[in-house]
Structure 1
Amino acid sequence: MAFIDFSDAALQALPTPLTQPAETLDAMERRIVALARGDGLASLKPHRKRGWFLRLILGPTPPSAMLANEQLEALRRLAVRAWHHGYTLPVSALKEARQAGYSEAKIGAVIDTIGRNRAPFRSIAA
């Protein structure tokens, strides 16, 4: 069996840091990504107030998980979906983040950060 060395071809195919600058997340964005880990998909739905009867039985309406800053809220929504769906995000999540002003590189950095920190997939048989 023959061995073919593809290491030279792989180095030429990979982008260098000089040609494509890597986008990094600042401290606030990293904090929002970390906080989004504990949020469920239900936090993406609009917040409804409870009626008087439900307030009587269940107590006051809990605070909303939404952020006041619209751009950071779009980042939180993207991060929540990425924590739950991994790399198979819906196109609407990417479109919403782009409309909020995030570049493709910043969106990729968020998704890659979450992908590295996510628990690996476990099979049922193991």
Structure 2
Amino acid sequence: MAYLNFAEPTAASAPVAPRHDPVPPKASLSALEWQVVALAQRDSLASLRTPGRIAVALAALFGGRTDTRLADPRLEALRRVSVHAWYHGFAIPESEIEGFHAAGFTPDHLELVLTSISRGRSARRRRA
């Protein structure tokens, strides 16, 4: 019969902490950011261009908005990507994606926004 002395720990019986690879947090957007995505549905592709002198003059004469850009650069980058996504789905210009990432968003944020807009586009087509 064998005898094991459990009073003295050995190297083989030393407790080993389980290895946990850090799991990155899931991408999420704030309520304000989701509002920007929803409002971008109503913006036209023309809202992405800088208004010219004639457009500014006509807006001054007849009233109306010439500049729909948001004051916060982060939210503006989100709006621009969202407008493209509402009109063209996943076909977003590379320059807009670079601006989106430069504003502090991750590729997971982009995937989250595009997936959400894609669902909204398909639901809109089903209703029409």
Decide: shared fold, TM above 0.5. yes
Partner of 1:81: 84
Aligned to 1:13: none
**1:55/1:118 Cα in 2 relative to 1: closer, same or farther (>3 Å)?**
closer
Q: In structure 2, do the counterparts of structure 1 residues 63 and 53 end up closer, same or farther at CA, with 3 Å as the change threshold?
A: closer
Inter-partner Cα distance in structure 1 for 2:59 and 2:87: 31
Aligned counterpart, 1:25: 29
Give the letter aligned to residue 67 of structure 2: S
Q: How does 1:1-126 map to 2 (within 5 A)?
A: 19=23, 21-50=25-54, 54=58, 59-60=62-63, 62-119=65-122
Amino acid of the structure 2 residue aligned with 1:45:
R
TM superposition shift of 1:38:
0.6
- Comparing 42-51 and 68-77, the one that deviates more: 42-51
* Structure 2: gaps spanning 5 or more residues: 1-21
Q: Cα RMSD over matched residues? A: 2.8
1:90/1:41 CA distance change after superposition, 3 Å:
same
Change beyond 3 A, Cα 1:109–1:51: closer
Q: What percent of counterpart residues are identical?
A: 36
Could you tell me how far 1:97 is from its partner in structure 2?
Answer: 0.3
Q: Secondary structure at the match of 1:118?
A: helix
Give the structure-1-normalised TM-score.
0.69
Q: Which amino acid counterpart does residue 52 of structure 2 have in structure 1?
A: R
Tell me how many residue pairs correspond in the alignment.
104
Q: Give 5+ residue unaligned stretches, structure 1.
A: 1-17
Q: Larger C-alpha radius of gyration, 1 or 2?
A: 2
CA distance in 1, matches of 2:28, 2:52: 35
Deviation at 1:20, TM superposition (A): 5.4
